Chain A
Amino acid sequence: MKGTTSTFSTSRRQLLKTSSALGLGAMALGMTPAWASPLGRAAAASRTVESGPEIALAIRREDRLVAGQRTRPITINGSSPGPMVRLKEGQEAVIRVTNLMDEPTSIHWHGIILPPEMDGVPGISFAGIAPGDTFTYRFPVTQSGTYWYHSHSGLQEQEGHAGPLIIDAATPDAFQYDREHVLLLTDWTFEDPKNVFRNLKTMEGYYNFQERTVADFFADVRRNGLQDTVEARSMWAEMRMSSRDISDVTGSTYTYLLNGNAPDENWTGLFRRGETVRLRVINGSAMSYFDLRIPGLKMTVVAADGQPVQPVPVDEFRIGVAEAYDVLVTPEDDKAYTIFAEAMDRSGYARATLAPRMGMQANIPARRDIADRGMEAMGAHGGMNHSKMAGMDSSKMAGMDHSKMAGMDHSKMAGMDHSRMAGMDHSKMAGIQGEALAAGMLAAGAVQPGARYDQAGIGLDQQQRRVLVYQDLKALAPWPDQRPPQREMELHLTGNMERYMWSFDGKKFSEVNGPIHFNKDERLRLILINDTMMEHPIHLHGMWMELENGHGEMIPRKHTLNVKPGERVSALITADAEGSWAFHCHLLYHMDAGMFRVVKVS
């Protein structure tokens, strides 16, 4: 059984102090690490790590056990989720992907800066990989860190077509560690993903079995009084929405997996007392945000989305879909520690164990109760009604100095169809906007009014534990492009939950008639305004998004930005990647429902 699921782990016994003393530090750090799986040993481990620069991957649909039940996931070189692809910065990666299924497939290298035709999105980067065909991805590896790969075809990602992509740095990392483990979180369903999608289209709350009931009403009356309860409940009822709408697809159909293992299977990563262990946490799930903690261990966040950040000690962090965090832990005791990744809606969890020896386990924490969404999500409800939205927006923008905006009406801007602007003379546009905005725009890196970077998000108690927030993220060193933004672009995250329609600026992908245009080499500020009451992890292919969380030239850069309900988030982008790129919500069914755009850089 264990052989069918992947185990990603490496012991990197660097003996740092000794080796540096001997003058071998650089050599030790630069060596290809020796791999060791804590579970499967040689046979399993060799199958689950594919090291570059030349790699061959075969995609199949095969019978496998998931959570002890026979099913038919998509496998990559025999395992589902797929093997770890391990590259090294400076390599020229050559990855041959062979499709042995009877449907087209693809692999997208999530978070990797590469030529547009190697990005792996069918219809934008290439035609896709037809059954029986082999596509050779070739790209220079110009970055390092923790990433992942997954199918960009249909709903295949939900069927296990994903795996970790780890790139070793050419120069030593800024932090030291003795051992590393990859923790890949996924959500597995035994249902056909197409049915999952149809169920959501038919009944948005299909998978939600934590809705408010009459009993909750009376409990609230006891706690908050009749009047407040009635007022709060009737607001939600009037809006025809559920304050318990935290996740669209829940533990009622999902089994949450960690490195392909269900909670009961207890994937185990080994450590020696006193070792510093690097955990490369990747959320490769289709729809699930996780809150991860290791009771008894402080975690130090050292990288976000593969990119190094200044160390942040935390007790818990929320990882949005497609995000990645690297954390260091130093277990001092000779005992087991539970890695507990609770689904954001508390409908289930993924679990693993860090232990000095195999076969050990620690207590599994109790799950918390589901939270009710509050005012900020209600505020976002305006997004359901676009006419109301315009009004709301400008009031939020009151924080900005409108008088300085040189007569530009921003609320009208939002209503403009950006896609239609493609037909306009862009060179002139940029000039006009550049001038107008230069006067009224916030400084580079400044926090937009309406951002909530100091909040961890729904259901997390920042009083109880130190929880990572976006405000904590600071780059180690300034990113190369320190130009202020020349242009601002606003994009609303929109949806109709009742119909399970998801879109940007009120238009599904099928309804837009052109790409979003970035001018080649411009420095752009992308402002994302979430008009819905759900979180959306927004992912831009091909270019980094530098999250303007108030840290000036030390703002962090990410490939996926979590935008909370009602939130206004901004990022600086250097549009240096000529070509067409995908830009979408990384919740798989949101993307499939139309929350997807093409970004064209030219």
Chain B
Amino acid sequence: MSIICISRHAVIASAASATLSVMPLLAYAEDGYDAPDDWPSPMAEHLQWSAAFDRLEYASPDKGNNALVWDFQAWYGSDVNRLYVKSEGENIQGDGEDAEFESLELLYSRLVADFWEFQAGMGYQGGVFSDDHEERVYGVLGFQGTAPYRIETDAALQFNEGGIVTASIELEHDVRLTQRWYLQPRSEIVVAANESEALGIGRGVNSLRIGLRARYEITRRFAPYVGMYWERQYGATADMQRVEDEEVENTGVVVGVKLMF
């Protein structure tokens, strides 16, 4: 400390020359002004993180078994560059099978416009703890952000083995009823460029899911909700579902909670 405690006379004589004479080892700092190397940056950028279950819900469909469903997202990084982990999946109750990751993705994300991030990475589909479910690994390219009118958007292409390309678009919007009550319509559409019987993917629109949830924010971090949804499979995808004797159209109610950590 003492090296920078200079006397009044030195200050009066010339602050600059005094500074130079009493401060050894002046380095040309990265920021372009004179500061010794061991000084901290006046304003360091800190990496941040976020983790949230956008949906963690118990779904009770009209037809079929109840299921525990999750939609999780976390990121770590700077304002511009971030690493994302995203996962959606379900555990169908009473089917004797393990929970399934419909998607578990690790993405690099870069802010490319004020409201948009470009994301790329790898995804995995399959059992959480076992090989109860068919596994696949795929590449992901997408954009996540907020469209005009505050429509939260997550649009991505999935590149599967054998050149099978699918696209998914998730849209969400919060209607603020009061400062605590929110109504959230959401939709999810899956489209495929080509067909794969193995993956249960037909060409064209595969499925459409529409939901409406009413959420009460007890705090920003803890917001229980109730809601309902309607979903339907289309075209060849629906045909494949029929062959498997599964429903192509269903509705259901959900009870869940939005959690932010």
Contact = CB atoms under 8 A, between A and B. Distances in A.
Contact of A211 (B31, B79, B176): B176
B148 A122 contact: no
A594 B43 contact: yes
Nearest to B44: A510
Contact of B43 (A213, A215, A592): A592
B15 interface: yes
A126 B33 contact: no
B4 interface: yes
B31 A578 contact: no
Contacts of A498: 114-115, 146
A592 B179 CA distance: 28
A515 B33 contact: yes
Interface in B115-162: 115, 146-150
A123 B115 CA distance: 33
Interface in B33-56: 33-36, 38-46, 48-50
Interface stretch (A42-50, A129-137, A293-301): A129-137
B19 interface: yes
A234 B114 CA distance: 19
B111 interface: yes
B30 to A, nearest CB: 8
Contacts of A514: 31-33
B42 A121 contact: yes
A211 B179 contact: yes
Interface residues of A, number: 70
B33 A116 contact: no
A136 B3 CA distance: 11
B15 A115 contact: yes
Interface stretch (A202-210, A268-276, A551-559): A202-210
Nearest to B117: A499
A496 interface: yes
A127 B40 contact: yes
Contacts of A499: 79, 111, 114
Contacts of A579: 15-16, 19
B169 interface: no
A138 B7 contact: yes
Interface in A469-519: 496, 498-501, 508-510, 512-515
Interface in A75-109: 92, 104
Nearest to A239: B148
B260 interface: yes
A237 B148 CA distance: 6
B149 A496 contact: no
Given A509-B43, A510-B43, 13 more contacts: A115-B15, A116-B19, A123-B42, A126-B39, A140-B11, A198-B49, A201-B48, A201-B79, A202-B260, A498-B114, A512-B31, A580-B33, A598-B31
27 contacts: A115-B15, A116-B19, A122-B39, A123-B35, A124-B33, A124-B42, A126-B1, A126-B4, A127-B1, A152-B42, A194-B46, A197-B46, A213-B178, A237-B149, A238-B148, A240-B115, A240-B147, A240-B150, A384-B114, A496-B114, A499-B79, A499-B114, A508-B79, A509-B42, A510-B45, A578-B15, A600-B32
B238 to A, nearest CB: 36
A433 interface: no
Which 7 pairs of residues, A with B, have the shortest CB-CB distance?
A514-B32, A123-B42, A510-B45, A202-B50, A237-B149, A596-B43, A238-B148
Given A115-B15, A501-B79, A594-B45, A513 B32 contact: yes
Interface string A569-602: 0000000011110101000000110101010101
A582 B42 contact: yes
Nearest to B148: A238
A214 to B, nearest CB: 5
A116 B15 contact: yes
A385 interface: yes
A594 B43 CA distance: 7
Contact of B179 (A209, A237, A600): A209
Contacts of A496: 79, 114
Contacts of A129: 1
A579 B6 CA distance: 15
Contacts of A122: 39-40, 42
A117 B19 contact: yes
Nearest to B49: A198
Contacts of B19: 116-117, 579
Given A123-B39, A127-B40, A594-B45, A199 B179 contact: no
B199 interface: no
A408 to B, nearest CB: 25
B41 A123 contact: yes
A134 B40 contact: no
Contacts of A126: 1, 4, 39
Nearest to A203: B220
Contacts of B4: 117, 126-127
B218 interface: no
Interface string B2-15: 00111110011001
Interface in A45-71: none
B193 interface: no
A238 B49 contact: no
Contacts of B45: 508-510, 594
B222 to A, nearest CB: 14
Nearest to B183: A214
Nearest to A127: B39
A295 B260 CA distance: 43
A19 interface: no
A32 interface: no
Contacts of B114: 384-385, 496, 498-499
A203 B15 CA distance: 45
B175 interface: yes
A128 interface: yes
A234 B148 CA distance: 9
Nearest to B12: A140
Given A127-B36, A127-B38, A385-B114, A213 B16 contact: no
Which residue, B42, B79, B178, has most C-beta atoms of chain A within 10 A? B42
B27 interface: no
